[in-house]
Structure 1
Amino acid sequence: MNGLEVKALTKSYGATTVLDGVDLTVPAGGLTAVIGRSGGGKTTMLRLIAGFDRADSGSIRIGDHPADGLPPERRRIGYVTQEGSLFPHLTVAGNITFGLGWRDRRRQSRVGELLELVGLGQAYRKRQPHQLSGGEQQRVALARALARRPDLVLLDEPFSALDATLRGTTRRAVRAALAATGTTTVLVTHDQDEALSIADRVALLRDGRMVQEGTPMDVYRAPVDPAVAAFLGTVCSLDATLDGDEADTVLGRLGTPLRAYGKGMVLIRPEQIVPAADGLAAIVEGVAFHGHDGLLTLRAKDATLVARWAGHLLPRPGDEVRIAVEGSAIASFPDTVG
């Protein structure tokens, strides 16, 4: 069963088309990350799913029930925004139970269960929002979203305002809480690393259209076009002579995912370019050190390449290294199609 099914969703504001026939299917209990550049329609899609705005056409189904025409309060959806949007005059417990019926509000054990679920202790119960860190506020916002046992949770850039360290710990806690409850979730983000690391499936929205959807590994390793490949991470583009399911490049003969012939290009990821004692000679033109690893800018014959090596293996600018490619190209594209 699917937790969410969106079909042919469209939305325009005046002459501007924001969503143009969007399809999205989220398996029940799964987390799908919708990624794309700012202005691509991600938040608009969430607002339509939540019922905050009406679609021009298309359909939305949550679980077994159509949601078209239902007001937000009847869609059984939890919504977490970028800011968390906690009520400043209420305690943590008051925020979590806000919107529950009076019987549930009196069940203090429910607050404790939710605090434990999002990785906060009982000591947080009486704190005010201003006494919490940004990450703690987002965890309370998630607890509030889960309090009514929703069929679907929508996360709209919930970690983007947090610093790097807090962002990592908070998203792990949020992911664990959602997995523990088995709640179907849609996460909107522009952070590719975030999407690839915590989602079960990734959908890329571009210019109002869904251009690719699949597992994180599938979309990273088999992008549908060069723009998708580049959006999901650094990529090396190599001129190539395509020969069926192989291609001749400056780095040697590489396997390709699709059969094609003639002039074209292939794409590989930086981590595929590895040190090799008997490999192709290349000159190191630049090193970007990131601690655990680093990005090398290499010059091999007439090609400029980017490689990602472990931090302890990084050479210095000006050094000559020997390189080879591990695995096949992630994509291949002929210069002419037809």
Structure 2
Amino acid sequence: MSSADPRPVARASGAAGDGGGAARASGVEVTGLGKAHAGVRVLDGLDLSVPHGELTAVIGRSGGGKTTLLRLIAGFDRPDRGTITVGGRPALALPPERRRVGYVTQEGSLFPHLTVTGNVAFGLPWRRRRARDGVREMLELVGLDVGLADRYPHELSGGEQQRVALARALAPRPDAVLLDEPFSALDPAIRVSTRLAVTAALAATSTTTILVTHDLPEAMSLATRVAVLRDGAIAQVGEPADLYLRPADAAIAAFTGEVCEIPAKLLGDHASTALGPLPLPQTAFGAGFVLVRPEQITVDEAAPARATVTGTDFRGHDGLIRLRNGENEVTARCAAHLVPELGTSVGLRLTGIALATRIPPD
């Protein structure tokens, strides 16, 4: 829900009396979802399965349809085609307030005229709205001091506002919670603590969650699985380590982290490069390139391949080293205290398995 959307977050979560039971263990299933805006196709046959109780992060280019996906699941927009199931129930026939979906935006979208208690109670079933113990329970769940219960949103920090927004979304015990860039507006100093508190609350309630984010490290560190949205569909979904170490193609390798492209002779199950041999993820033949992460290029004085340090990028905990090996330029990563000086000649070797291969067209 964008800041201009008048619908309250908690109403998207639905009422607690909308059924549930065993069917609620089904998570979220999206099949063949299609949506166009002003004639431009945004989602095109998207399939996504989010198991019950898991947090799946969706990453992709800006304008690629991530928020559109959340709005379709929440019921704020309707798809042109496809199906959506939430908690084992077909969702498209239900209005937003009956879908049992919580929605937390970047801004939190709290009601400014209500206190923390009023905002959280708004998400509670009507029979419990007057029960302060229900509010206290939700505040404790998201790691907020109950002493903040009588404050108004403008009296809270950004991180506290986001925790209140989550408490309101979780209050009706929804079948799923949708998080749309919930931490991007926070200062770095409080972003980490806020997202840890939020994910701890989600895990404690076994809430099925979809997180949309532009922050790749955030997605990799918080999510059980990460889905890459590209050209209106999911290009790859898997555990964070799978996407980083075993990307489906060269484009996903580059999107999920820094890569180096090294000229190579592809010889079936391995490649021959100027920095030594390297196993391939898939059989390939011909003259082409292998893609590796900077940390796969190791500075090793015993290695026969030599390179000259042409630049460094000090990052505190580690550093990136730009190197020239003949006509080839590569980037290596090493511990901060091992970053060599400019102009130094160092030995290099490759480790691990190539992320992907690329063979130029004739």
In structure 1, runs of 5+ residues without a counterpart are: none
Partner of 1:320: 345
Partner of 2:317: 292
Offset, 1:289: 1.0
Partner of 1:329: 354
1:147 aligns with 2:182: no
Q: How many positions carry a matched residue from both structures? A: 337
Tell me if the contact between 1:26 and 1:32 (Cα under 8 Å) persists in the aligned partners: yes
Where does structure 1 differ by over 6 angstroms across 4 or more consecutive aligned residues?
none
What is the root-mean-square deviation in Å for CA atoms of aligned residues? 1.4
Letter in 1 for 2:356: A
Tell me the percent identity.
60
Q: 1:209 to 1:102 in 2, by over 3 A?
A: closer
Tell me if the contact between 1:79 and 1:145 (Cα under 8 Å) persists in the aligned partners: yes
Tell me if the contact between 1:2 and 1:25 (Cα under 8 Å) persists in the aligned partners: no
- Given the alignment, which residue of 241, 248, 263 partners 1:239? 263
Q: Distance in 2 between matches of 1:313 and 1:110?
A: 54
Tell me if the contact between 2:105 and 2:181 (Cα under 8 Å) persists in the aligned partners: yes
In structure 2, runs of 5+ residues without a counterpart are: 1-24
Tell me if the contact between 2:250 and 2:355 (Cα under 8 Å) persists in the aligned partners: no
Partner of 1:192: 216
Shifted more, 145-154 versus 61-70: the winner is: 61-70
1:262 aligns with 2:283: no
Letter in 2 for 1:313: L
Partner of 1:134: 158
Q: Deviations over 1:247-272 (max 9, x none)?
A: 01121110011011111211111111
Letter in 1 for 2:97: E
Partner of 2:331: 306
TM-score, structure 2 length as denominator?
0.90
Partner of 1:93: 117
Q: Distance in 2 between matches of 1:199 and 1:139?
A: 18
Partner of 1:59: 83
Tell me if the contact between 2:294 and 2:333 (Cα under 8 Å) persists in the aligned partners: yes
Offset, 1:100: 2.7
Partner of 1:230: 254
Letter in 2 for 1:327: G
Tell me if the contact between 2:309 and 2:340 (Cα under 8 Å) persists in the aligned partners: yes
Q: Distance in 2 between matches of 1:32 and 1:101?
A: 27
1:167 aligns with 2:191: yes
- Given the alignment, which residue of 100, 124, 128 partners 1:76? 100
Letter in 2 for 1:119: G
Q: Distance in 2 between matches of 1:335 and 1:263?
A: 8
Letter in 2 for 1:244: G
Letter in 2 for 1:146: L
Offset, 1:69: 2.0
Partner of 1:276: 300
Partner of 2:20: none
Tell me if the contact between 2:250 and 2:357 (Cα under 8 Å) persists in the aligned partners: no
- SS state of the match for residue 316, structure 1? coil
Letter in 2 for 1:53: D
- SS state of the match for residue 299, structure 1? strand
Q: Distance in 2 between matches of 1:147 and 1:100?
A: 5
TM-score, structure 1 length as denominator?
0.97
Offset, 1:43: 0.5
